[in-house]
Amino acid sequence: MKNKAPKKKNNRKKLVTYFNPKSPISEEFTSVKTNIEFTSIGKASKVIMITSAEPDAGKSIIASNLAVVFAKQGKKTLLIDFDLRKPTQHRVFFSNNEVGVTGMLMRPETRRVAIQDTEMDCLQILTSGPIPPNPSEMLNTQGLEDLMESLCKEYDQIILDAPPVLVASDARIISRLADGILFVIKSGASECKQIVKSIDLLKQTQTKILGAVLNNPFVESTKMYYTYGDN
């Protein structure tokens, strides 16, 4: 019996909007960005939170590619990995994760090294940092609100990769920092009752739901579909 070596996935392939900008899926991301802008007419959604009902819906890949699309438009963009339980953005961008959000909250002087450049001129990333024992408590602090207020003065667009809604209260806590929420649904996997429950919980936060993206990265012919929010 042969031992099968584990396959190493190249996370950079997930950044289709950067490495294959003319592909159909890249065009779908551009359409999502355009629809968000139309939804936000009258009041720009500078800070957009991306979340889902459950894990593995693809919300982190939606967040990273959407950040690339905004950056390619010439907007100074910051992608923040607020998933302090299962962070992924540092792997997607091959970034250092020694400081990140948690490090900055504990030691504000580390900000200079916490926010990192990417291969794109207009895109920077703030990773999660070391996973804390109390993510919800760390997210629910005045220090985080002060940090976001400062960042909003520096960037044209901020994308927040938040944890799934039903995993913990983290997403609802983070939503207070956002101008709008983009909800990701995995086609053929997300259960209706869980989607409804998640959206109901998000509506209680009073943060505008900009719309939903129907996503299924495991179907070769898949497309992403965007629907407008109703609140």
Q: How confident is the prediction along the chain (231 residues), in pLDDT tens digits per residue?
A: 444 433 335 555 689 999 999 999 899 999 999 988 887 776 778 999 999 999 989 999 999 999 999 999 999 999 999 999 999 999 999 999 999 999 999 998 888 899 999 999 999 999 999 999 999 999 999 999 999 999 999 999 999 999 999 999 999 999 999 999 999 998 876 688 999 999 999 999 999 999 999 887 444 434 454 444 444
- The pLDDT, as a whole number, for residue 221 is 36
Task: Convert the pLDDT of each residue in 119-130 to its tens digit.
Answer: 999 999 999 999
Residue 129 CB: number of other CB atoms within 10 A?
Answer: 24
Fold for the domain defined by 24-228: Rossmann fold (3.40.50)
User: What confidence score (pLDDT) does residue 229 get?
Assistant: 47
Distance CA 78, CA 122 (A): 8
Q: CA 151, 29, 227 angle in degrees (round to 5)?
A: 95
pLDDT of residue 152: 96
The reply to whether the predicted model has a pTM over 0.75 is yes
pLDDT at 112: 87
How many angstroms separate the CA atoms of 107 and 109, rounded?
5
